[in-house]
Amino acid sequence: MTNIDVPLTATTTEREDEADALTIGRRIRQLRTARGMTLDELAAAVERAPSQLSMIETGKREPKLTLLRAIAKALGATVDQLLEAEPLDERATLEIALERAMKGPTFRALGIEPFRIGKTIPDDALRALLALQGEIERLGDERSATPEEARRANVELRHLMRRQDNYFAELEEHARAILRAVDHPGGPLTQRTASDIAAHLGFSLHYVADLPASTRSVADIKHGRLYLSSTVPAKGDSRTAVLQALASRILGHAEPRSYAEFLRQRVETNYLTGALLIPEDHAVPVLLDAKSRRALSIEDLRDAYSVSYETAAHRFTNLATRHLGIPVHFLKVHESGTITKAYENDDVNFPADRLGSIEGQLCCRRWTSRAVFDIPDKFNPYYQYTDTGNGTFWCTARVETSSEGAHSVSVGVRFDDTKWFVGRETTNRGVSRHAVEVCCRRAPAELESQWRDQAWPNVRTPRTLLATLPTGAFPGVDTTDLYEFLEAHAPRG
């Protein structure tokens, strides 16, 4: 998550400082040449060695304020003129951009040593070099956006969430500040309040029928317009789409530079949306009261804030360990048995691949998350104790449907923490040994011997199994479709 504790890159400030030094140096050089002064003449005027001024003009050294004043005086300019953000002309812009690129990772990876950009190098040559550098970076991004890279990024993000008990104070404060700005009293957040938040951030809401198929919403930052689909799914929540779109603006998200950053932005967006729908300051007293009565319930949290079961389950994992002292795990499992989302800080042993990735693995069919699909009662929650090689866990689960099929959403805790929850008296029990033996991953020997040579299924292979992840500035989004949509809907005049 780009705004959470650990920045994605530790050199952002260094690069900004370097860019400033380049801009200042290039401005000094252009003012000097415009006045017909040689480097030696300027050096003599400010009583410095020519080599020192050369280092400043090429951006390799940033001048102190006293020297900057002396240079400005010698050039008949002001310090403000030397510190202006914009370069003097297009040539300076090109030179600065290329010098910055030569010091970047792409040129270094190719073994290209930085060279002096002389006056004889044509502008077109500079543009060509910058275009080639941009294309090399784009191709590199495409190659890195593989399923393996995605799994690695997901594992790193899950480790961060586990270290922080899935609680991020900075995002909670963002939510608190926004709700305070629109005078939200607490409790369920209404559609009107979601619209008030949009207005507070300078956006008007526009519901359209031709939203690009690859998007959930589109923000026209230039005109302050937020486009959403005029068709809300039967079980959809119109507030969620608005808040998820606004969350990126609240957090100042920029175009992701890697799949890891894209993934973290998604997690941040979902976290902040949950924090707005279920505010920490209002929900924590409710949860503490329920714990004191030994009546914690995801269903009650869902109903109290008029959110989906999945949103309530996610939000519970944010608050449970920090405020209730309860380690917890969360699973979302597709009806095929595939794990699509997972989180734990209670030492439950999820199935994982060699990279440590949980998502995409088959959930043990003995677990609550799989057993719930076989329960005919879809109205009431399903509770189950599961004995594992790593202890006994209790879970509560529900099945929800979507355009992608049915999913189970479950929240679980270790046996010792079951005493705080509604449903602890259940007699449902399962035994899973997936962590220490084959368990349910291999058919019983009798069935296998009977059918191994007599069965030939036509496998339904997921479309993404053999493909790389979607590429582009925002993975999966058709940018041509996006830009044509914005152009068609932009206000005229």
pLDDT > 50? residue 10: no
Q: Taking a C-beta distance cutoff of 8 angstroms, is the pair 91, 122 a contact? A: no
Phi first, then psi: give them for residue 385, nearest 5 degrees: -95, 140
Mean pLDDT along residues 13-24: 56
Which band of pLDDT confidence, cut at 50, 70 and 90, is reported for residue 5? very low
pLDDT band at 442 (very low <50, low <70, confident <90, very high): low
What number is the average pLDDT over the span 282-305?
96
What per-residue confidence (pLDDT) applies to 187?
Answer: 83
Q: Per the structure block, which two tokens stand in for 71?
A: 């240079």
Mean pLDDT of 399-414: 90
Q: Is the pLDDT of residue 68 over 70?
A: yes
Q: What HEC string does 262-297 produce?
A: HHHHHHHHHHHHHHHHCCHHHHHHHHHHHHHCCCEC
pLDDT of residue 192: 92
Supply the pLDDT for residue 114. Answer: 83
Q: What pLDDT digit, counting tens, does each position of 173-203 carry?
A: 999 999 999 999 888 899 999 999 999 999 9
Spell out the domain ranges in the chain: 19-141, 303-437
- Structure-block tokens of residue 157: 């993000």
Residue 319 contacts residue 402 (beta carbons within 8 Å)? no
| Higher pLDDT, residue 436 or 331 | 331
Average pLDDT rounded to a whole number, residues 252-266: 85
User: What is the average pLDDT value for the chain, to the nearest integer?
Assistant: 83
What's residue 278's pLDDT? 96
Considering the chain, what percentage of its residues have pLDDT values greater than 70?
A: 85
Angle at 374 between CA 373 and CA 378, to 5 degrees: 65
Helix axes 259-277, 309-324, angle to 10 degrees: 90
Q: How many other C-beta atoms can be found within 10 angstroms of the C-beta atom of residue 467?
A: 10
Helix (H, G, I), strand (E, B) or coil at 380: coil
Residue 148 has pLDDT above 90, yes or no: no
Contacts of 459 (CB under 8 A, 6+ apart): none
The pLDDT assigned to 13 comes to 39
Q: What is the pLDDT of residue 307?
A: 93
Place of tokens 């969430």: 161
**Residue 143 pLDDT > 90, yes or no?**
no
Query: pTM above 0.75?
Result: no
Share of the chain above pLDDT 90, in %: 38
pLDDT of residue 376: 92
Q: Bigger pLDDT: 41 or 465?
A: 41
Instruction: Note the Cα 413 to chain centre separation in Å.
Output: 27
- Mean pLDDT, rounded, for 315-326: 97
Burial class (CB in 10 A: 0-12, 13-18, 19+), 462: exposed
Among 337-351, 450-464, 472-486, the range scoring the smallest mean pLDDT is: 450-464
Look at residue 86 and tell me whether its pLDDT is greater than 60. no
Report whether pLDDT(279) > 70.
yes
Q: Give the span between the Cα atoms of 11 and 27, in whole angstroms.
A: 24
Per-residue confidence band for 83, with pLDDT thresholds at 50, 70 and 90: confident
For the stretch 93-102, pLDDT in tens is 888 888 888 8
Facing residues of 376 across strands? Answer: none
Task: State yes or no: pLDDT of 17 exceeds 50.
Answer: no
Structure-token match 């609680």, residue found: 167
- In whole angstroms, what is the distance from residue 291 CA to residue 67 CA? 66
∠ Cα 386 392 395 (to 5°) = 50
The closest of 424, 309, 409, 428 to 369, measured between CA atoms, is 409
Name residues whose C-beta falls within 8 Å of residue 243's C-beta, 6 or more positions apart in sequence: 194, 197, 272, 273, 276, 277
pLDDT of residue 475 exceeding 70, the answer is no
**Structural contact between residues 261 and 2, judged by C-beta atoms closer than 8 angstroms:** yes
Whether residue 464 has pLDDT greater than 60: no
Does the structure show a pLDDT above 60 at 18? no
Sign of the four-CA dihedral 67, 71, 77, 82: negative
Q: Which residue did the predictor score with more confidence, 474 or 166?
A: 166
Examine the pLDDT at 385 and tell me if it is beyond 80: yes
Provide the pLDDT for residue 328.
97
Which residues are paired to 227 by β-bridges?
206, 218
In contact, 344 and 162? CB cutoff 8 Å: yes
Q: Average pLDDT, stretch 267-286?
A: 96
If one counts every other C-beta atom within 10 angstroms of the C-beta of residue 354, the result is 6
Distances (CA, A) of 438 to 185, 364, 365, 452: 52, 10, 12, 17
Q: Domain 19-141: which topology?
A: 434 Repressor (Amino-terminal Domain) (1.10.260)
Could you tell me how far CA 6 lies from the centroid of its own chain? 13
Amino acid at 95: E
Q: Which residue has the tokens 């951009």?
A: 97
CATH number of 303-437: 3.30.450
The Cα–Cα gap between 2 and 69 comes to 38
The pair of structure tokens assigned to 179 is: 């709700």
Alpha helices in 251-401 (DSSP H): 259-277, 280-292, 298-305, 309-324, 368-371
* pLDDT band with cut points at 50, 70 and 90 for residue 147: low
Q: What is the average pLDDT across 333-361?
A: 87
Q: Quote the tokens at residue 108.
A: 């270094």
Query: Does the pLDDT of residue 438 top 70, yes or no?
Result: no
pLDDT of residue 197: 96
Question: Is 407 a residue whose pLDDT tops 90?
Answer: yes
